[in-house]
Structure 1
């Protein structure tokens, strides 16, 4: 999470001079099922004072497989769990998360 510090600082500086633009949020991704990583990340990002999107993108082999084939999980398995996670994230971004 320390790697985010510089980026978050730059985003916040830009938001000050551009009336809140760009909007930014965190998304927990590459989480391993059965671990507490997602919970730990959620606690860590709270100090950055940027929103955290609801839901988690889990580390799934379909992402690597789809990428190596030149596709996305939405192309490869549109009704699969990975695609549902991606759609959930996209919906929050499209509808606005602030």
Structure 2
């Protein structure tokens, strides 16, 4: 399965979700490769921080911020159970290439009106990509949300009402995610029995179920 984490809006947590989910799947015995398609190279920075800390490699991270991504992905995907694409914000040609490369697009959205407006543009790009990839699937996922807030509930309901739909699982706004990213680790490594790891596990299982 080729899973792309995409959103034109920056700061929605694409890289954090991509890396934590990739680590989850790798820990479950899947062969996982992460493609860093963002010119900011945050996933590669995370992998470097991990190496400098002397930690074992959890999975391969490859930098590929090129508009030919969709042409190169099939060869890279042959050796992986899950190929995870960490997509770019606001780089239209790169984003379109990632859309054409993916089997499934996960669109992280924060609970705010601004994110809701940005997701309308993602829906348009998804429709455009389906002209060439009719089988392309997509789901929104609510990320960085405070639990039991009205705006989180309303955003989740609005996303679920879209034709694209939304994952049932959500991911909270937790300092642990930033701490893990800074030191090249994952939330499951820092707090294996904590709520952040549980949220990632639930979202990961839901994504894998979409491929069955």
Range into which the TM-score falls when normalised by the shorter chain: 0.7 to 0.9
Secondary structure, in 3 states, of the residue corresponding to 2:130?
Answer: helix
Q: Which residue of 1 aligns with 2:5?
A: none
Q: Which moved more, 1:35-44 or 1:57-66?
A: 35-44
1:29-76 C-alpha deviation (Å, 9 max, x unpaired): 111134222211123224531121012211011111111111110221
TM-score relative to the length of structure 2:
0.42
Q: Which residue of 2 aligns with 1:25?
A: 139
Conserved 8 A contact 1:8-1:48 = no
CA distance 1:28–1:83, change in 2 (3 Å): same
Deviation for aligned residue 1:88: 0.5
Matched, 1:12 2:139: no
Deviation for aligned residue 1:17: 3.0
Gaps in structure 2 of 5+ consecutive residues: 1-115
RMSD of equivalent CA atoms: 1.9
Matched, 1:59 2:173: yes
Aligned length in residues: 97
Q: Which moved more, 1:45-54 or 1:24-33?
A: 45-54
Conserved 8 A contact 1:51-1:97 = no
Secondary structure, in 3 states, of the residue corresponding to 1:32?
Answer: coil
CA distance 1:30–1:75, change in 2 (3 Å): same
Alignment of 1:1-98 (within 5 A): 1-21=116-136, 23-96=137-210
Gaps in structure 1 of 5+ consecutive residues: none
TM-score relative to the length of structure 1:
0.85
Normalized per residue, the structure richer in helix is 1
